[in-house]
Amino acid sequence: MRDAQPCTIFLSDYRVPEFLIDSTTLKFELGETNSIVRSVLELRRNPESDSQDAPLQLHGTELELVSLSIDGRELAPSEWSQSGEQLSIAKVPAAFSLSCETRLRPQDNTSLEGLYKSSGMFCTQCEAEGFRKITYYLDRPDVMSVFTVEIVADQSRYPVLLSNGNLVATEILADGFHKTVWQDPFPKPAYLFALVAGKLSVVEDQFITSSGRGVDLKIYVEEKDLDKCDHAMLSLKNAMRWDEEVYGREYDLDIFNIVAVDDFNMGAMENKSLNIFNTSCVLAKPETTTDAGFQRVEGVVAHEYFHNWSGNRVTCRDWFQLSLKEGFTVFRDAEFSSDMGSPTVKRVEDVTLLRTAQFAEDAGPMAHPIRPDSFIEISNFYTVTVYEKGAEVVRMIHTLLGPELFRKGSDLYFERHDGQAVTCEDFVLAMEDASGIDLRQFRNWYSQAGTPRLEVSGSYDKRAQTYTLAVKQSCPPTPGQTEKAPFHIPLAVALIGDAGQLPLQLADAEINTESADNTELVLSVSQPEQQFVFNNIKEEPVPSLLRGFSAPVKLDFDYSRDQLLRLMRSDSDGFCRWDASQQLGLAEIKRAISALAAGQNVSPDAEYINACRELLADTSLDAAMVALMLQLPSEAYLAEIIHPVDVQGIHQAREALRKVLAQALKGELSACYSRCESDEAYAANAEQIARRSLKNTALAYLMLLEEEQFIALAIQQFESSANMTDRLAALTYIVNSESEYKAKALQRFYQQWQHEPLVINQWFQVQAMCRLAGTLETVQGLMSHPAFDIRNPNKVRALIGAFCGQNGVNFHREDGAGYRFLADQVLVLNRSNPQIASRLLVPLTKWRKYLPAAQQLMRAELQRVLAEPELSSDVYEVVSKSLQDYS
* Amino acid code (one letter) for 841: L
In whole angstroms, give the CA distance from residue 741 to residue 749: 12
Binding partner selected for residue 557 from ligand B3K, Zn ion, none, CB under the kind-specific 5 to 8 Å limit: none
In whole angstroms, give the CA distance from residue 325 to residue 314: 8
Residue 522: phi, psi to the nearest 5? -105, 110
Is residue 270 involved in binding ligand B3K (CB under 6 A)?
Answer: yes
CB of 235 to ligand B3K, least distance (A): 15
Question: What is the CA 507 to chain-centroid distance, rounded?
Answer: 42
CB of 265 to ligand B3K, least distance (A): 6
> Can you name the residues that pair with 374 across neighbouring β-strands?
10
Helix (H) or strand (E) holding 207: strand 201-208
The reply to whether omega before 47 is within 30° of 0 (cis) is no
Q: Find the part of the chain contacting ligand B3K (CB under 6 A) among 194-202, 261-269, 445-453, 761-769.
A: 261-269
In whole angstroms, give the CA distance from residue 801 to residue 821: 11
> Can you name the residues that pair with 514 across neighbouring β-strands?
522
Nearest to 92 by CA among 51, 40, 45, 136: 45
In whole angstroms, give the CA distance from residue 509 to residue 440: 21
Shorter beta-carbon distance to ligand B3K: residue 270 or 350: 270
Conformation bin of residue 127: beta by default, left when phi > 0, alpha when psi is -120 to 50: beta
> In 10 A of CB 270, how many CB atoms?
23
∠ CA 142-144-145, rounded to 5°: 160
Among the listed residues 129, 222, 304, 392, the single catalytic one is 304
CB of 397 to ligand B3K, least distance (A): 20
The residue within the footprint of ligand B3K, chosen from 352, 379, 478, 530 (CB under 6 A), is 379
Binding partner selected for residue 355 from ligand B3K, Zn ion, none, CB under the kind-specific 5 to 8 Å limit: none
Binding partner selected for residue 525 from Zn ion, ligand B3K, none, CB under the kind-specific 5 to 8 Å limit: none
Q: Can you point out the beta strands (E) in 513-650?
A: 513-517, 520-525, 529-534, 542-545, 554-557
CB of 216 to Zn ion, least distance (A): 24
> In 10 A of CB 870, how many CB atoms?
10
Q: Contact letters (x/-) for ligand B3K, 680-719, by CB under 6 A?
A: ----------------------------------------
* Amino acid code (one letter) for 369: P
Question: What is the CA 20 to chain-centroid distance, rounded?
Answer: 33
The three-state (H, E, C) secondary structure of 295-333, written as one string: HHHHHHHHHHHHCCCECCCEEECCHHHHHHHHHHHHHHH
Rounded alpha-carbon distances, angstroms, from residue 249 to 317, 411, 541: 22, 9, 44
In whole angstroms, give the CA distance from residue 75 to residue 342: 62
Q: Can you point out the beta strands (E) in 222-262?
A: 255-261
Binding partner selected for residue 225 from ligand B3K, Zn ion, none, CB under the kind-specific 5 to 8 Å limit: none
Binding partner selected for residue 127 from Zn ion, ligand B3K, none, CB under the kind-specific 5 to 8 Å limit: ligand B3K
Binding partner selected for residue 432 from ligand B3K, Zn ion, none, CB under the kind-specific 5 to 8 Å limit: none
Is residue 368 involved in binding ligand B3K (CB under 6 A)?
Answer: no
Is residue 266 involved in binding ligand B3K (CB under 6 A)?
Answer: yes
> In 10 A of CB 780, how many CB atoms?
14
Q: Contact letters (x/-) for Zn ion, 318-357, by CB under 5 A?
A: --------x--x----------------------------
The residue within the footprint of ligand B3K, chosen from 382, 578, 764, 788 (CB under 6 A), is 382
Shorter beta-carbon distance to ligand B3K: residue 163 or 737: 163
Binding partner selected for residue 395 from Zn ion, ligand B3K, none, CB under the kind-specific 5 to 8 Å limit: none
Residue 143: phi, psi to the nearest 5? -105, 110
Is 655 noted as a catalytic residue in this protein? Answer: no
Is residue 304 involved in binding ligand B3K (CB under 6 A)?
Answer: yes
Q: What is the number of helices (H) and of strands (E) in the chain?
A: 30, 33
Binding partner selected for residue 328 from ligand B3K, Zn ion, none, CB under the kind-specific 5 to 8 Å limit: none
> Can you name the residues that pair with 35 across neighbouring β-strands?
104
Shorter beta-carbon distance to Zn ion: residue 282 or 471: 282
Shorter beta-carbon distance to ligand B3K: residue 143 or 760: 143
Shorter beta-carbon distance to Zn ion: residue 301 or 871: 301
How many residues lie near Zn ion (CB under 5 A)?
Answer: 2
Question: What is the CA 370 to chain-centroid distance, rounded?
Answer: 14
Is residue 269 involved in binding ligand B3K (CB under 6 A)?
Answer: yes
In whole angstroms, give the CA distance from residue 534 to residue 216: 56
The residue within the footprint of ligand B3K, chosen from 2, 19, 116, 127 (CB under 6 A), is 127
User: How does 819-846 read in b/e, with b if 16+ C-beta sit within 10 Å?
Assistant: bbbbbebbbebbbebbbbbbbbbbbbbb
Shorter beta-carbon distance to Zn ion: residue 315 or 723: 315
Give the gyration radius of the chain's Cα atoms.
Answer: 28
CB of 340 to Zn ion, least distance (A): 18
Question: What is the helix, strand, coil percentage profile of the chain, to 5?
Answer: 45, 25, 30
How many residues lie near ligand B3K (CB under 6 A)?
Answer: 12
End-to-end, the C-alpha distance of the chain in Å comes to: 30
Is residue 220 involved in binding ligand B3K (CB under 6 A)?
Answer: no
Residue least distant from ligand B3K (Cβ): 127
Residues between 274 and 303 that touch ligand B3K (CB under 6 A): 303
CB of 263 to Zn ion, least distance (A): 19
Nearest to 843 by CA among 872, 814, 878: 878
Shorter beta-carbon distance to ligand B3K: residue 179 or 332: 332
* Amino acid code (one letter) for 394: V
Is residue 421 involved in binding ligand B3K (CB under 6 A)?
Answer: no
CB of 266 to Zn ion, least distance (A): 9
In whole angstroms, give the CA distance from residue 811 to residue 819: 7
CB of 427 to Zn ion, least distance (A): 15
Is residue 326 involved in binding ligand B3K (CB under 6 A)?
Answer: yes
Q: Got the DSSP string for 820-872?
A: HHHHHHHHHHHHH-HHHHHHHTHHHHTGGGB-HHHHHHHHHHHHHHHT-SS--
Is residue 579 involved in binding ligand B3K (CB under 6 A)?
Answer: no
Nearest to 786 by CA among 739, 742, 754, 738: 754
In whole angstroms, give the CA distance from residue 392 to residue 408: 19
Shorter beta-carbon distance to Zn ion: residue 326 or 335: 326
Binding partner selected for residue 266 from ligand B3K, Zn ion, none, CB under the kind-specific 5 to 8 Å limit: ligand B3K
Binding partner selected for residue 128 from Zn ion, ligand B3K, none, CB under the kind-specific 5 to 8 Å limit: ligand B3K
Residues between 261 and 290 that touch Zn ion (CB under 5 A): none
Applying CB under 5 A, the residues found at the interface with Zn ion are: 326, 329
Give the residue numbers annotated as catalytic, written as ranges.
304
Applying CB under 6 A, the residues found at the interface with ligand B3K are: 127-128, 266, 268-270, 303-304, 307, 326, 379, 382
